[in-house]
Amino acid sequence: MSVGYKDDQNDWVTVCLKYLLFVFNFLFWMGGAAVLGVGVWTLVAKSDYLSLLASSTFAVSAYILILAGSLVVVTGFLGCCAVIREQRSCLSTYFICLLFIFLIELVAGVLAYVYYQRLSEELKQHLNHTMTENYAQPGKEAVTFAVDSLQQDFKCCGSNNSHDWTVSKYVVSGQAEGRAVPDSCCKTITPHCGKRDHPSNIYKVEGGCITKLEKFLADHLLVIGAVGIGVACLQHPTNINRCRGQVHMGTKTITMETGF
């Protein structure tokens, strides 16, 4: 009776620990999906604006999140297989991958936070120069498209205000063909509508495009930082180590070092 009872008890413990590890793995998988989604969203939403930034930190943070999220999703399936097959080597690989992913997500979150602190200064120093010196210039098609998109999407004109365009290469060189501002500044775009810079015709926004772009990027960076660091904290090594287990196939028992 005692042997049969012990076997039944071991089977019950095995089932419970399997389910606990499945729940643990599912939470990590959901966190990875969230990280992946935020990274893709950051690059897809208004990705044209990246050409207006002086540094690539914003894009790098998003790419790191995409890498980490993809690894979590793949690793999640590895964890499920390891639990089902009760293979210790698979479980060890699974937890090593989680530790690696933890570091990646932490780096992405820290990069986003650091860049957030100096975003305003970078935009003030570089955005006006980028717009006035590169708009409609040979080989700068990406910048031209980004500026046009920026002004139309955010309903703004110029870096600080519409008067910034009066000293731009685009206007000074005669490329503007009599326009005071690019046509993308117009509330309703028509050919050569930029010749008339009256407030009824073009966007006159306090603070110009700088304030609009800064708010947009800052919101994205806060999300990147929060998701990266938040999920990394959930995958902290102390939490991961609590779930490391050894699978004993012969006796069909699992001894777990778990904090659950």
Alpha-carbon distance of 20 to 257, in angstroms, equals 12
Residue 231 lies in a domain: no
Sign of dihedral through CA atoms 142, 206, 179, 173? negative
Mean pLDDT for each 10-residue chunk of the chain (260 residues)?
48 67 74 78 74 76 79 75 68 74 77 76 83 92 92 92 93 90 94 91 88 83 72 57 43 38
- Whole-model pTM: value is 0.66
Residue 32 lies in a domain: yes
Number of domains in the chain: 1
Residue 197 lies in a domain: no
Position 259 scores a pLDDT of 36
DSSP state of 139: T
Residue 39 lies in a domain: yes
Alpha-carbon distance of 25 to 81, in angstroms, equals 11
The backbone torsions φ and ψ at residue 164, rounded to the nearest 5 degrees and listed phi first, read: -60, -30
Residue 9 lies in a domain: yes
Position 1 scores a pLDDT of 45
Alpha-carbon distance of 232 to 90, in angstroms, equals 22
Host domain of residue 53: 1-86
Residue 18 lies in a domain: yes
Is the separation of the CB atoms in 245 and 85 below 8 Å? no
Angle at 56 between CA 52 and CA 57, to 5 degrees: 120
